[in-house]
Chain A
């Protein structure tokens, strides 16, 4: 069983839709949670970074962490075609390596 599970998709939504991306994990030691966006043939770009449980909002993006359920989410409001990319969740415990999900491929159709 993988430490981090993420549905690879692909996920296709119309422009303006609310997108929900999720990851589950098994390692209760994970404390730091991140979402990266990766465009084709580019390096990952850090979108959101949260520590422990709770919500964090940045513009159209909201990250949620539920440590009791070992579940994290990224919501994208008013999705745009420019949001079309692969979204990677990542997490780690202090002092340990970054563990990635498989990535979810998102397409926002105009």
Chain B
């Protein structure tokens, strides 16, 4: 149980284009999902907290107009990198907190990550 998927796993795009990454909880519902960014040999950096049915909360220094987050259902959150540039190339990872018994639990389960390369 507690499986999180991401799609695509790897994407290459041209500078200036937009890329959408999907994060799905496959066997549980999640009111709260998270988006992280990870550079090589570094730990995860939280970008934003995504809440179903409401606006995402962005961390300081993360441009909300550049990284659009939509959490339209209890099993799906999307991250759209708009007008991507080479400096946006990174490993993007989502995580989800399962809802159990009507409340949000404390554990986070991570997706496999999406490697974005912007040319």
Binding site for B on A (CB under 8 A): 32, 34, 36, 41-46, 49, 88, 92, 94, 97-98, 100-103, 105
Q: A92 CA to B112 CA in the complex, in Å?
A: 22
Q: A45 CA to B41 CA in the complex, in Å?
A: 17
> Would you call the interface of chain B mostly helix, strand, loop, or mixed?
strand
Q: Which B residue sits closest to A49, measured CB to CB? A: B107
**For B43, B91, B110, B115, which residue has the most chain A Cβ atoms within 10 angstroms?**
B43
User: Cβ of A46 and Cβ of B44 under 8 Å apart?
Assistant: no
> Is B116 in the interface zone, CB < 8 Å from A?
no
Q: Which A residue sits closest to B110, measured CB to CB? A: A43
Chain B residues with Cβ under 8 A from A41's Cβ? 91, 113, 115
> Is B106 in the interface zone, CB < 8 Å from A?
yes
Chain A residues with Cβ under 8 A from B110's Cβ? 36, 43-46
Please list 25 pairs of residues, one from A and one from B, whose beta carbons are closer than 8 Å in the complex, sorted by A's number: A34-B107, A41-B91, A41-B113, A42-B113, A43-B4, A43-B93, A43-B95, A43-B110, A43-B113, A44-B44, A44-B110, A45-B110, A46-B108, A46-B110, A49-B107, A88-B44, A92-B106, A97-B46, A97-B49, A98-B46, A98-B108, A101-B43, A102-B42, A102-B43, A105-B41
